[in-house]
Amino acid sequence: MPLTLVELFGYAPGDSSPNARTSRIKSSCPFVGGTCIKRFKSGLISGACTLKPTNSGPVICCPNRMYAEGHRILLDVAVDAFGPGMRLCRSTTEAECDGFDVVVFGKHWGKELRLPSRLKGGGYFVDWILARLGPACELEEFVALEVQTMDTTGSYEAQVHRLLATGTTLEDKQSNINWENVSKRILPQIIFKGHVLRQEALCRKGMYFICPSPVYTRILARLGGTLRPYHPHPGALTFRQYDIGDPPPPGASRPLVYKGQMTTTVDQVALAFTSPSNLPEPGVYEQAIRAGLTVS
């Protein structure tokens, strides 16, 4: 199914404003600064922030797009987990030591923290750790965040090349969103990380999983829609959704819009993943085999 470019280097593909033109010329990311991190196999910088498949609304496909407005999603989670008035800082040297400091560990902010593995040399990185400091600037509690967008299958490179070269669009039938990542990679990783974090005495609110709304919808569909809601606690897993907002005037990027959250448990997700309730009717393989045998 074809993918349509919704945002290119932070702006609408048809935006001819000075901001949009400069961003394309410099291949820059207006959300975290610097050069866009996405490249095609040919080496061409992709610039694609958001894509729209024919069977879905716009899907954010670059993690840096989620960090708009100065990494606002991190402060959103800090307030949700620890209460109002929280502020983010990079280290204890920036802290005011009044109980409202949250030290951030993650890319673009400081050191990324690796979760240990039972396998020698193994382990996983958690995208973000938010560590709340008490009045004495000592660690009081923390939460972990995973931020997930979606990869694509095929290539929309010809579409990007045409837009950058001529400013015109090209129908693309070579690519689609890689929804299978939900089953193959995303869910197994968050289940593992969630089980590791639930052993931590100071991880009192569990883990947050932040993603675009279409990704959240696919996760629920994969799990069969059977997740029960819980209050935040150790072993909790909170799914938090964001999307891009309405098109802005030329020269501006779409806002990032919070769409809601749901808290369940790692155990609920693991059970639904290994024992799905949305199976097809019994006998579908037999029917397919019999139909195949009748083909001459």
Partner residues linked to 162 by β-bridges: none
Instruction: Report the DSSP pairing between strands 207-212 and 139-147.
Output: parallel
Q: For residue 165, what are its two tokens?
A: 């070269």
Q: Whole-structure pTM over 0.85, yes or no?
A: yes
For 285-294, write each residue's pLDDT tens digit.
Answer: 888 888 889 8
For 220-278, write each residue's pLDDT tens digit.
Answer: 888 887 789 999 999 999 999 999 999 999 999 999 999 999 999 999 999 988 887 77
Q: Which residues of the chain have pLDDT under 70?
A: 1, 110, 114-124, 153-154, 161-162, 165-175, 295-296
The domains of the chain are located at 1-62+149-178
Q: Is there a contact between 222 and 185 (Cβ–Cβ < 8 Å)?
A: no
* Nearest Cα to Cα of residue 2 among 212, 178, 181, 171: 171
CA dihedral of 199, 240, 32, 254, whole degrees rounded to 10: 180
